[in-house]
Structure 1
């Protein structure tokens, strides 16, 4: 089970564009918490805390404990709006999760042992990471912060597909139920120049 992370949040009474601008000038990020069997709640966050949190993978793929007046809301980030050029988070949407309901989320892939693999050691082999994250389904208790892809045995010409990933217990990839056409490549070890030669032929 992935570790959960706590963020303090306050209830927000002011609504509308003008109110949101005033909040941002005061170093506060407006947001909303919705879903589950409770009414949506308008909330606000400390901008500096959110700005630092957004640089971590867990912020996007882990269950977060939002502490609202001492009450914990278990949530997943569903949307984050950033300013187009300023270092500013504009708005956050969080969805509550139910311990007994399957949730869908995208989690990052962590690639290990590439440098020590036969493909990684070969000077004429190019190893490409075709995917950086994968969409999964699982119960909240089984949600991983990331999925490891062990490249230790990767050789020239090898391709690792979604179906070849070792998933944690309780985790599945819904796309694989849709047929072989959805079994996307995750890693490809190509011999340098082979693609150009095939095109020429």
Structure 2
């Protein structure tokens, strides 16, 4: 993790819907930081800075430095509430992290080798992504920026499951802890081709039936 994200914040005293609206009008995003055995703390962060940083995929899978009134804390972002119509962050939740305590964070999947996969290159299939990220559990020092999924050898009608993904040291998949070995990515025939083949099959049966009826009438 070469990048470092610093989020500047201020303590927030005013509470309630009206106060939150005023803060947003003034360019601030209400937020809360909690965890690590400390009391939750209401804060505000610069909407402009937060919105810009959220444009980086790595922001969501990094240990962030949250500076509240100049005092730094290590955190991860746990939840974001966005406006349904405008490009606006309405609220954010930050979770404090401790070096000796495991955390659960959603990490993006990066798929590699799609163009050369036999199921695509020679089988004429298309790649279907069932997941774009996964929830991992690990110590903060082991948190990966992303997890690579190599499908360069995937054949037509084959699927890669969670248990088949190579994981970095110290990282576990939460779904596997619950014995949910779901599919992650697969290669299938394009839907249109499948539908065309079904239509042709139906048409052939109809013609055969017509011929048979003609023969019975003679």
TM above 0.5, yes or no, is yes
Q: Which has the larger radius of gyration?
A: 2
For structure 1, list consecutive stretches of 5 or more residues without a partner in the other structure: none
Question: Alignment length, in residue pairs?
Answer: 198
For structure 2, list consecutive stretches of 5 or more residues without a partner in the other structure: 203-218
Residue 124 (structure 2) aligns with: 124
8 Å contact kept, 1:2–1:143: no
User: How far off is 1:195 after superposition?
Assistant: 5.8
Task: Indicate how the Cα distance of structure 1 residues 79 and 192 shifts in structure 2: closer, same or farther if over 3 A, else same.
Answer: closer
Residue 17 (structure 1) aligns with: 17
Q: What CA deviation, in whole Å up to 9, does each residue of 1:97-147 have, x standing for no partner?
A: 111111111111011121122223236212111111111111111011110
Which structure has the highest helix share of the two?
A: 2
Partner SS for 1:114: coil
Task: Indicate how the Cα distance of structure 1 residues 138 and 4 shifts in structure 2: closer, same or farther if over 3 A, else same.
Answer: farther
Residue 187 (structure 2) aligns with: 189
Q: 1: distance between equivalents of 2:14 and 2:70?
A: 21
Task: Indicate how the Cα distance of structure 1 residues 195 and 62 shifts in structure 2: closer, same or farther if over 3 A, else same.
Answer: farther
Q: 1: distance between equivalents of 2:38 and 2:2?
A: 25
Say whether residues 1:150 and 2:150 are aligned partners: yes
Alignment RMSD (CA, Å): 2.2
8 Å contact kept, 1:113–1:151: yes
Q: 2: distance between equivalents of 1:186 and 1:78?
A: 23
TM-score (norm 2): 0.82
Task: List aligned pairs for 1:32-51, cutoff 5 A.
Answer: 32-51=32-51
Task: List aligned pairs for 1:1-201, cutoff 5 A.
Answer: 3-122=3-122, 124-179=124-179, 182-192=180-190
Partner SS for 2:187: strand
Higher relative contact order (CA 8 A, sep 6+): 1
Q: 2: distance between equivalents of 1:120 and 1:8?
A: 46
